[in-house]
Amino acid sequence: MLQCILDTGGLQALITALWESGHQVLGPQVRDDAVVYARLREVAQLPAGIVDEQEGGRYRLHRTVIPEGVRPLFAHVVGPHSWKRFLHPPQEPLWRVEMDGQGLAIQPAEAKEARYAFFGVRACELAAMAIQDRVLKGGEHVDSAYLRRRQGLFTVAVNCTRAADTCFCVSMESGPAVKGDFDLQLTELTAGGEHRFLLEAGSEAGEKLLERLPGRAAEQAALDEKAALLAATARQMKRAMPAGAAELLADSLDSSHWESVAARCLHCGNCTSVCPTCFCTRTEERSALDGRSSERWRLQDSCFNEGFSYIHGGALRRSAAARYRQWITHKLLHWREQFGSAGCTGCGRCITWCPVGIDITEEVHRLAEAKA
């Protein structure tokens, strides 16, 4: 694999080269006390020296203690945004119709040539993109707008050198080491007080770009440091999805435990909003007041909304218990049969951003206890 070592100047050269090759570069930045993904032009915009404290229903940013004077750029983990915000946006127009009295003229929404470069994609997020790929472009019918954005995408992945307390990617086999489909991967190294980045190519496009950057050869010590950091991150992980969660859920559809979750769940849908794999959408008609034209839009939807399961006569899943059961059984059980893998990557966002701190790993533990 083609690899090199960059300093922060080299990192800037990478960002600049991505813009110059026609990509819109998006990366992590602090906004409103959270790390979110936004347009990235300068290394200086990255969340230098920031760590995110995460727990059920809790998210706080702190300045890190700076060992040996290095302010790490990637010591944070994942925030409320995920890349689905760009690949599978919360709302987008599908088509427009003109009604002139003679008939209908239906025009697809303008296909925007979005060429994104995602800078700072974590292992769990690569896994999430692979999951959404199977849903949105892996079947007989393909979401063409998603496919177009996916085809234009360049990914710079980042290995996690720290785990948040809500992370459980090790148990979902999705991290912390970057694997799968990426163009470049970065590992932030700080040993000896020297701030540098190990850059490794994962695709032909990645190799071509890497060759143009002002890097120096990667020494064995850098590769060893990367391996040690990833092993430490894996050891840091406090949460785990219990083994056999799918079988347990299949056996728990009529469990009385769902009522106990329902007593806490506000069915606000936050977990589905922040989840990097939740893909459900609804369509909406936006018609002009004069009745001569109308637009069809696709909007993010959530299985926690009562209207989600509406058929004439009313909603099928009226109780909060049934809606939470739908969400968790979809993630960990039914997704497998529908799309060939689980729908969870262990990123922990649903735990952090649940206003009452409901924890997907904890609920599986409790179901197991209820069964025992």
Partner 1 sequence: MSNVPADPMLPRPVRVLERRREMEGVVTLVLEGSPQEQDGFQPGQFNMLYAPGVGEVPISISGDPAEPAQLTHTIRSVGQVSHALTRLQPGDQLGVRGPFGTGWPLSDAAGSDLVVAAGGLGLAPLRPVLLAAAGNRSRFGRVVLYYGTRSPDTVLYSGELEAWRAAGIDVHVTVDRAAPGWKGEVGVVTQLMRAEHFDAGSAVALLCGPEIMMHFSAQTLSGLGIPQARIHLSMERNMNCGVGLCGHCQFGPRLVCRDGPVFSLEQVAPLMKIKEL
Tell the smallest beta-carbon distance from residue 1 to partner 1 (Å).
26
Q: What is the closest distance, in whole angstroms, from the C-beta atom of residue 238 to partner 1 in the complex?
A: 31
Encoded tokens for 149: 């954005």
Cβ atoms of 185 and 199 within 8 Å: the answer is: yes
Helices (H), 2-122: 8-20, 84-87
Q: For partner 1, which is the closer residue by CB, 171 or 329?
A: 329
Q: How far is the CB of 311 from partner 1 (least distance, A)?
A: 5
Nearer to partner 1, 215 or 343 (CB): 343
Give the list of residues 6+ apart from residue 20 with CB closer than 8 angstroms, or none.
none
| 3 vs 255, beta carbon nearer partner 1 | 255
Identity (one letter) of the amino acid at 105? A
> By C-beta, is 30 or 135 nearer to partner 1?
135
Q: Which is nearer to partner 1, 15 or 278 (CB)?
A: 278
- φ, ψ of residue 30 in degrees (nearest 5): -85, 125
CA dist list (Å): 346 to 21, 164, 168: 33, 11, 5
Cβ 301 to partner 1 shortest distance, Å = 7
Ramachandran class of 58: left when φ > 0, alpha when ψ lies in -120 to 50, beta otherwise: beta
CB 345 within 8 A of CB 128: yes
- Give alpha helix (H) positions in 60-215: 84-87, 123-136, 144-151, 204-211
Cβ proximity to partner 1: between 51 and 136 the closer is: 136
CB of 14 to partner 1, least distance (A): 24
Amino acid at 5: I
- CB 338 to partner 1: min, Å: 6
Beta bridge partners of 7: none
Q: How far apart are CA 323 and CA 333, in angstroms?
A: 15
CA 78/CA 13 separation, integer angstroms? 24
Give me the residue label for tokens 């496009």.
Answer: 205
Shortest approach of partner 1 to residue 208 CB, angstroms? 18
Encoded tokens for 201: 């190519």
Q: How far is the CB of 303 from partner 1 (least distance, A)?
A: 7
Q: What does the binding site for partner 1 look like in residue numbers (CB under 8 A)?
A: 94-95, 97, 99, 103-106, 108, 111, 113, 135-136, 139-145, 147-148, 151-152, 253-254, 279-283, 285, 287, 291, 294, 296, 298, 301, 303, 308-312, 316-319, 321-322, 326, 329-330, 333-334, 336-338
Alpha carbons 315 and 196: distance in angstroms, whole number: 55
Nearest to partner 1 of 205, 213 (CB atom): 205
**278 or 347, CB closer to partner 1?**
278
